Structure 1
Amino acid sequence: MKAILKELTRDMSFTNDLKQDISTFLIQNQCSETAQHCMDVGREARRLAQLFQVDPDEAELAGWLHDISVVIPNNERIVAAKKLDIDVLPEEESFPMIIHQKLSKVMAQDIFKITNQGILDAVSCHTTLKANSTTLDQVLFVADKIAWDQPGKPPYIQQIHKSLEISLAHGAFSYINYLWERKETLRVVHPWLREAYEELNERLR
């Protein structure tokens, strides 16, 4: 394990209960609200997985893991990503918050010993999605948007629920389209988001 991750886990006693260990890891690193959010997303991901023929255990675990990198402060994320040999895109360099999805993937692998590539891939694109996304990718992406971590109700929530009545891909696209219609107000348009928009827009039209 790289030194940067060892530092984050130095007070951890792992129990082999992943739900407990992930929650403890976040709480010990002063991220108790994120611990609750991750549990909420795990619960929502399990619900969606059961609706759309995805392994519910994999979906729930991806939900628990998706934001574990929040323990790394925003202004340290690019340095951390480079130390962890993560490819950093120019958009991520200019808006470091968005690289947390890639950081969470590596941390899931190195700290929590996750080897399931489907789970790791879903964690790595849970904020932006990507082109040719899997159903597990889409389940986590949508679950994170439904169980959001801000006060009040998400402004797009009715559209997501309506679109999910058609298909999971329509649900995922409804949120991407919501962002796309407001892309001039976004700090950056991540290339994975752009590619997901173009691919789903073409496929679902």
Structure 2
Amino acid sequence: MIARIQEIAASVPPTGDLAADTDRLFRHYGREITREHVPRAAAEAKRLALRFGVDSEQAEVAALLHDIGGVFRRSEMVELCERLGFAVEPEERQVPLLLHAKLSVMLAQVWQDITDPAVLQAVRYHTTLHAQATPLDQVVFLADKLEWDQGGIPPYHADLSAALEDGLDAGTRWMLGWMATPAAKLLIPHPDLRAAWAAYGISTAETDR
């Protein structure tokens, strides 16, 4: 394992209390916005999981871990991922922050000894989702969006909540559809997001203009 990953993992030794550990990690690296966002997303993930018959412990753990890769500097993310053997997409080179999910997976494994592949997959795809999303993936993805990290209530909150009345798939489809509109202001669509759009039959005409 490369020294930088070991350095981050050793900087905040785990205590067995994941919520407290992630709080300490974000505080240690001065990620105050993320520190406030993550426990809200974890609580929402647990609520959604209980509502839709998904494992609530897995959902909460994945949501607590989903943004830990954000403690790395954006300027080092591409090189770190390359050294770890992760494929780096052209879109990720343009917007390195898109790599934080891959780094979250690695840090979850090294720092907290997380081995559950379902949890790690939900962490990996929490930003974009992907073409073969599981219910757990959907829950963590939607929790991240309902309790976003941009301050205040998301402009789509009421509409997404209404869509969820028709089920988890309906809510997921609605959120992905919104992300394909100009309102989302995406810097660049990630290939995994494009794959999710295709899987849900969502037109990307507006984003491709």
Tell me which interval the TM-score lies in, with the shorter structure as reference length: over 0.9
| Root mean square deviation of aligned Cα | 1.7
Count of aligned residue pairs for this structure pair: 202
Deviates more, 1:15-24 or 1:159-168: 15-24
Q: Which runs of 4+ in 1 moved over 3 A?
A: none
Is 1:130 the counterpart of 2:134? The answer is: no
AA matched with 2:169: A
Aligned twin of 1:139: 139
Structure 1 position 183, deviation (Å): 8.4
Aligned twin of 1:175: 175
| TM-score, with structure 2 as normaliser | 0.91
SS of aligned partner of 2:176: helix
Aligned ranges 1:53-132 → 2 under 5 Å: 53-132=53-132
Mapped to 2, the partners of 1:13 and 1:127 lie a distance apart of 27
Distance 1:112 1:198, change over 3 A: same
Structure 1 position 160, deviation (Å): 0.7
| TM-score, with structure 1 as normaliser | 0.92
Mapped to 2, the partners of 1:43 and 1:185 lie a distance apart of 26
Distance 1:183 1:150, change over 3 A: closer
Kindly indicate whether the alpha-carbon contact (under 8 Å) linking 1:138 and 1:168 is maintained by their aligned counterparts in 2: yes
AA matched with 1:123: V
Distance 1:107 1:11, change over 3 A: closer
Structure 1 position 185, deviation (Å): 4.8
Structure 2 stretches lacking a partner, 5+ long: 203-209
- Output one character per residue of 1:123-158: Cα deviation in whole Å (capped at 9) or x when no partner: 000000000100000000000000111122211112
Structure 1 stretches lacking a partner, 5+ long: none
Q: Percent identity?
A: 37
Mapped to 1, the partners of 2:42 and 2:36 lie a distance apart of 10
AA matched with 1:26: F
Kindly indicate whether the alpha-carbon contact (under 8 Å) linking 1:169 and 1:200 is maintained by their aligned counterparts in 2: no
Mapped to 2, the partners of 1:38 and 1:129 lie a distance apart of 18
Aligned twin of 1:199: 199
